[in-house]
Amino acid sequence: MLTTIKTVLANIGRGPATSRYPFVEETVPKGFRGKVTYDPSKCIGCKTCVHVCAGKAIKIDEKTDCFDFSVWDGTCTRCQMCENFCPTGAIKVTEEFHNAYLAEDVYKKAHFGNIPYIQCAECKKMIKPLPEVVAQEKLKGENIAYKERSYICPDCRRKAMAKDLMKGLAR
Amino acid sequence: MLQVLEKLFNLFVFPGFFFMAIIGLYFVGIHRKIVARIQRRIGPPIDQPFKDFAKLMIKEDVTPQGAAKGLFTLAPYITIIGVVIGMMFIPVGIPAPLDTAGAFLVLLYLITAAAVGVMVAGSASSSPYAAVGVSREMALVIAYDLSLIVIFLTVAVKAVAIETATGGAAADLLNFSINSIVSAQASRPFILDWTMLPALLAFLMIIPANLGLAPFDVVEAETEIVEGPMIEFSGYRLALLQLGSAMKAFFICSVVVVFFFPGGIVAGAGLGSIVINAIWHILKAWVVYFLAGTLVSASFGRRRVDQAVKFYLTVPLVLSILSLGLVLAKVG
Amino acid sequence: MLGILKKPLRKMIAGSPWVYRMNTGSCNGCDVELATVALCPRYDTSRFGVKLSGSPKHADIVVITGPMTIRCKDAAYRIFSQIPEPKVVMTVGNCPISGNVFQDSYAVDPPISKHFPVDVSVAGCPPSPWAILDGFVKCIEIWENRIAEKLD
């Protein structure tokens, strides 16, 4: 009984613990999983994120001369598996939590990215490009043989490497 | 003719319907604000009950099919009518408009009639949750009515004792009118008399059950029976039910004030002194509501219905019988 | 209705939206966040006049969580029809928008906008309580517009 009275009086003295949210800005704890962002300049189109997405929010739509990437906020579970498995770090989870929309707007809340294909220098087939950023990071710019042949499609690259091999063997 | 107009003014404006409605709604608003501050929140603005009332008046009215039509329509008015008529017996600045012999007993009935309003409302809606709420309300009213009768008896006996002590035939004074109680406290209000203190304490304990506040708000236990008797009401009917509940708060606090510490601070019958005395009465009623309603409801959790009934059949009953015994002993 | 009284009357009526929560098969994650928003002193919603009401007949803002499971469709329709006009519908969580991880299940029927007219959606799984508070503020604006329409 006495603790009740003490708590009641202390609470009146301490003042409200409310944070007046819409009028002041609030932050979330570090490591909070919010919306997903996408950097088209690093994407290699491997489709691992599509495979691991829990809510089927990521879609990669391969067309004739480009591929479209989209992630819809209305189905993203924020499980962070896409960021975990992406080999190049093109998809990242931010701490953005302002998610309240009018109902007709929620269908527009998606990230789009469009990565155009490049043409193979030899056989003129359309292939997915290897971004320079990724080459610098992953291959550390040291794999000279790969660098010389990074603008031709895998089939042509195989043929060229086979020719080199034959040349080397024939010595 | 002027008499009739004056009585009608008393009934509808002061201290009748409008006065009670406004003061009652402000009481509820201040109560919610203080409870919020005790819980370290900001709380709704003080005029929130007025906004609630305005909003409920424009909502669509959804009546269940199986409800008893006549009673469903009539139920919200029972509490309001009972409480307004009860206020006619209480002097607020002006002498009580309807004070006659026996007014005391009518007051006792009207306090119970206000609770009956909620019971009729719950029974008229064809819902099992409302039926559970009604049965709980009935059990609670039976439990605290016993103590209420003993308290009323104590006050009456004390008033008669004081009047006979200061000279006057007992038979003339045993007419159970509110005036006799007020004039018996002219020299010293009952609150300063130690024999009446247990009765005051018992009355303060009855207030939470009467008004549906914690720890005895088991009737409208939201998490258990989905708002109890008021579940099927919407629109203007719900607005009237809530208005009745707010007016009942002011009414019962005024009854406590009149029984234990009435009296104005400025004598005379001019308009200025009426206003000042009315404001003094409102302040006293608010102090009663604060101590017995707000502070208690913010500090305690809800008691189960069997715990509540057991409490009312022991503690306030013992206190009021104690007070009655002390008063009778001093008389004899 | 006097024209001059309309604006203050509108402000007064819009200051008291009562909330009713309907759970159509949710995993309860969003319901826990709703309970936090409604009851914890940090996110106090009663400063906007919001009160959590127990009965659908007392409600102005209807909060729906969960994808519509087939089992509770009947009950959900019945309860929704008992909520008096004018009302505002808000959905919390990703499940009412698209079914989230339960999309291809045989037991659910998302999205909720197929069954009820939705006004505000709060995305997230579960959304942060700040986002739900944002949703309430948006709902209150829409509620004010509905009141203005009704008063005219």
Query: Contact B37/A16 with Cβ under 8 angstroms?
Result: yes
Residue B176 to residue C48: CA distance in whole angstroms: 48
Average pLDDT of the residues in B186-211: 87
- CB contacts of B33 in chain A (<8 Å) are none
The identity of residue B197, as a single letter, is L
Provide the residue range defining the domain that includes A159. 119-171
Residue B241 to residue B55: CA distance in whole angstroms: 14
Beta strands, E only, C26-137: 51-52, 61-65, 88-92, 120-122
Query: Contact A37/A91 with Cβ under 8 angstroms?
Result: yes
Neighbours of C146 (CB within 10 A): 16
- CB contacts of C53 in chain B (<8 Å) are 227
Please answer yes or no on whether B41 and C44 come within 8 Å at the CB atom.
yes
- CB contacts of A14 in chain B (<8 Å) are 40
**SS3 of C1, please?**
coil
Q: Is residue A73 a part of any domain in this protein? A: yes
Give tens-digit pLDDT for A42-72. 888 888 989 999 888 888 888 888 888 888 8
Chains with 3 or more CB pairs closer than 8 angstroms to C? A, B
Q: How far is A98 from chain C (nearest CA, A)?
A: 5
Q: Looking at residue B230, what is its pLDDT?
A: 83
Range scoring the smallest mean pLDDT among A88-92, A163-167, B94-98 = B94-98
Query: Contact C17/C48 with Cβ under 8 angstroms?
Result: yes
Q: What angle do CA B259, B329, B205 make, to 5 degrees?
A: 40
Share of chain B above pLDDT 70, in %: 94
Q: How far is B39 from chain C (nearest CA, A)?
A: 7
What's the token pair of residue C152? Answer: 């005219």
Q: Is residue A18 a part of any domain in this protein? A: no
- Domain total of chain C: 1
Q: How far is C105 from chain B (nearest CA, A)?
A: 32
Residue of B37, B291, B300 to mutate for A, most A C-beta atoms under 10 A = B37
Residue B267 has, within 13 A of its CA and on its CB side, a CA count of: 1
Query: Contact B110/B68 with Cβ under 8 angstroms?
Result: no
Residue A59 to residue A39: CA distance in whole angstroms: 15
Does residue A38 sit in the same domain as residue A110?
A: yes
Residues 70-129 of C with CB under 8 A from B: 82, 84-86
- CB contacts of B40 in chain A (<8 Å) are 11, 14-18
Please answer yes or no on whether B43 and C9 come within 8 Å at the CB atom.
no
Q: Whole-model pTM?
A: 0.86
Helix (H) or strand (E) holding B324: helix B305-331
Range scoring the smallest mean pLDDT among B221-235, B276-290, C75-89 = B221-235
Residue A43 to residue A134: CA distance in whole angstroms: 8
Query: Contact B247/B83 with Cβ under 8 angstroms?
Result: yes
**SS3 of B22, please?**
helix
Residue B10 to residue B1: CA distance in whole angstroms: 14
CATH number at residue C130: 3.40.50.12280
Does residue A84 sit in the same domain as residue A65?
A: yes
Q: How high is the ipTM of this complex?
A: 0.89
Does residue A98 sit in the same domain as residue A37?
A: yes
Provide the residue range defining the domain that includes C32. 21-147
Domain ranges of chain B: 2-331
Among residues A123, A113, A125, A126, the alpha carbon closest in space to that of A41 is found at: A113
Q: How far is C52 from chain B (nearest CA, A)?
A: 9
User: Is residue B201's pLDDT more than 80?
Assistant: yes
Does residue A86 sit in the same domain as residue A130?
A: no
- CB contacts of C48 in chain A (<8 Å) are none
Long-range contacts of C32-37 (CB under 8 A, 24+ apart): C32/C126, C33/C92, C33/C126, C33/C127, C33/C128, C33/C129, C33/C132, C34/C63, C34/C65, C34/C92, C34/C132, C36/C129, C37/C129, C37/C132, C37/C133, C37/C136
Residue B262 to residue B256: CA distance in whole angstroms: 9
Residue of B33, B34, B35, B38 to mutate for A, most A C-beta atoms under 10 A = B38
Does residue A36 sit in the same domain as residue A87?
A: yes
Q: How far is C23 from chain B (nearest CA, A)?
A: 15
Asked if C12 has any chain B CB less than 8 Å from its own CB, the reply is yes
Q: Looking at residue B189, what is its pLDDT?
A: 82
Asked if A116 has any chain C CB less than 8 Å from its own CB, the reply is no
Q: Is residue C4 a part of any domain in this protein? A: no
CATH number at residue A82: 3.30.70.3270
Residue B125 to residue B149: CA distance in whole angstroms: 31
Residues 13-72 of B with CB under 8 A from A: 36-42
Neighbours of B230 (CB within 10 A): 28
Give tens-digit pLDDT for B43-90. 899 999 999 998 888 888 888 888 788 888 888 899 899 999 988 888
Query: Contact B263/B171 with Cβ under 8 angstroms?
Result: no
Q: Looking at residue C12, what is its pLDDT?
A: 85
Neighbours of B130 (CB within 10 A): 27
Does residue A70 sit in the same domain as residue A43?
A: yes
